[in-house]
Amino acid sequence: MSSQITAPQVRSMKGDSRIVCLTAYDYTSGRIADRAGVDVILVGDSVGNVVLGYESTIPVTLEEMEHHVRATSRAVERALLVADLPLGSYGSSVSQAVDSAVRLVKAGANAAKLEGDYCDEVRAIQKTGIPVMGHVGFTPQSVHNFGGYKVQGRKNKSEVIRMAKSLDDAGVFAMVLELIPAELSTEITKSVSAPTIGIGAGIDCDGEIQVFHDIMGLAEKTYKHTRVFAHSGKAMIRGARQYAQAVRERSFPTEENSF
């Protein structure tokens, strides 16, 4: 078994090698991402829209996150496993944030991620020994505040920069920059000590994160910020059709599959 990547190692990759991050939500996707050699696997609260069929990440509960972290952690041997704190699990108080992060780590995560300007919470979680990843720009849990899925930092550039710098000062080991202009993420990447991990944030971030189902061709929609690297959804539908046909025409199971 190769040794597992740590949060300090991810931090030290800034300026050295690009950090490859991918979401995963269960044993199978975790195993695929880990065997492919990605550096960081995120059990994202995007599990809500991607796997559970919710409209957004907003309904996702801490219990649901724990369930998916447990499943994913059983497969992950090499990558750093980060888990998202869902909406309602860290916004009320510092102690709520610490308790929620502890639950995700007890479920198998190596680090926690939270969205937005929660620097006291970041410091307190880190004080308990749990590394924290930040997330600025478009933060999906605030979709109602943003008025939809919109690129951030065009009109409020200084606000996004200020937030990234505060999280950096609070000691995050990395931060996601989501849906912001490429020029802005270049500026942030140069002005913070933590590595930046982009999604819809241009090429100059220290690393990239994508949603498993988007790059594997399993999503219903396609987005400008992503690319399909494997057309798995089409292959699966084809496979299921061939299976159905074989069952109906009695060409499966054969003697080979029988006991």
**Annotated catalytic sites, by residue?**
178
- Tokens linked to 259: 């006991």
Report the C-alpha gap between 177 and 98 in whole angstroms: 23
Among 80, 125, 211, 216, binds ligand KIV (CB under 6 A): 211
Which residues ranging from 113 to 172 are in contact with ligand KIV (CB under 6 A)? none
Residue 82 in the binding site for ligand KIV (CB under 6 A) = no
Q: In terms of Cα–Cα distance, which of 259, 232, 6 is closest to 129?
A: 6
Q: Residue 214: in which H helix or E strand, if any? A: helix 212-215
Strands 132-137 vs 111-113: parallel, antiparallel or unpaired = parallel
Residue 34 in the binding site for ligand KIV (CB under 6 A) = no
Residue 176 in the binding site for ligand KIV (CB under 6 A) = yes
Count of residues near ligand KIV by CB under 6 A: 11
Residue with smaller CB distance to ligand KIV, 124 or 176: 176
CA distances from 232 to 40, 219, 228 (A): 22, 10, 9
Among 188, 199, 201, 218, binds ligand KIV (CB under 6 A): 199
Stretch that binds ligand KIV, among 8-16, 40-48, 69-77, 229-237 (CB under 6 A): 40-48
Side chain identity at 98, as an amino acid letter? V
- Tokens linked to 195: 């590595």
Side chain identity at 5, as an amino acid letter? I
Residue nearest to ligand KIV (CB): 44
- What minimum distance in Å lies between the beta carbon of 14 and ligand KIV? 18
Given the structure tokens 């939270």, which residue do they identify? 114
Sites of contact with ligand KIV (CB under 6 A): 23, 42, 44-46, 84, 176, 178, 199, 209, 211
